[in-house]
Structure formats: structure tokens, C-alpha cells
Amino acid sequence: MKTASVRDLRNHYTDVFRWIDAGEDVLITKRGRVVARLSPESEDVPEKVDWKNSPEVTRDGSKDVRLTAEQSSSILREASGRW
């Protein structure tokens, strides 16, 4: 596994992409701490997604709580204070 800093990624991205293209995982560091991992795309990714059976489509939303406009405004007012 290779390591590259954010500066390396910015200034020498072609080298980093060449590593990834060759099948290497690359850890991206910022100030010595790992902040990301770049890895080559795996070959077993399905070309087609079956959306009709996905949980987002088959979920029963009829029992979900729906907020009124007043409730939404109240939540936004409470959250808009200083953090």
C-alpha cells in the first residue's frame, strides 16, 4: 500500500493515479494523519442495479410521522441559534 500527502496528490496526481491504475491502494495523509484511502474500482461491480427490490423503494412510508409547517418552523428556529 502506497502513501501520498495531500500536497503529493495536488502536485503529482498523475503519479498517484498511475499507482491506483496499477492496482495499488493509496493512503492520503494530511499533516501525517491518514484522511482518505483511494483504491482501484473492483471488477465485480454489477452493471445494472435492481431498484425495484431496493429497501428505499419497498419501504412502507405510510406510518412515517409528517411534520406540520409550524413544527418544521419551530425546529428550524431552535436549530438556528449559535452553535
Q: What is the pLDDT along the chain (83 residues), one digit of tens a residue?
A: 899 999 999 999 899 999 999 989 999 999 999 999 999 987 776 678 778 888 878 888 788 888 999 999 998 888 887 66
Using CA atoms, how far apart are residues 17 and 32, in angstroms rounded to an integer?
A: 20
Domains along the sequence of the chain with CATH: 2-38 (3.40.1620.10)
Three-state SS for 11? helix
Closest CA to 26 of 4, 10, 49: 4
Q: How far apart are CA 23 and CA 20, in angstroms?
A: 5
| Grid coordinates of 43 | 471488477
Place of cell 409528517: 66
